[in-house]
Amino acid sequence: MGKIIKKGVVSRKPGHLYYIDGKGNLCEAVMSRGGRKKKKKVAKKAVKKKSVKKKKKK
């Protein structure tokens, strides 16, 4: 876990990730979801198919 050195130095944008790279520079990257919330998964309802009787040939 990282340390908080000083608060309020960077004005943060929603949907962005901030980190310090190997050289000590502050970097900004766009998050994969971009700050949006996940959609809820909707369960599919089972649909019954009507059975069709086949006609016999004479």
Matching residue, tokens 């608060």: 7
In this prediction the pTM is 0.46
* Structure confidence by residue, pLDDT tens digits, 28-45: 898 887 666 777 877 777
H or E element: which one contains 29?
strand 26-30
Decide the pairing of beta strands 16-20 and 26-30.
Answer: antiparallel
Q: What is the DSSP letter of 19?
A: E
| Averaged pLDDT for residues 1-14 | 79
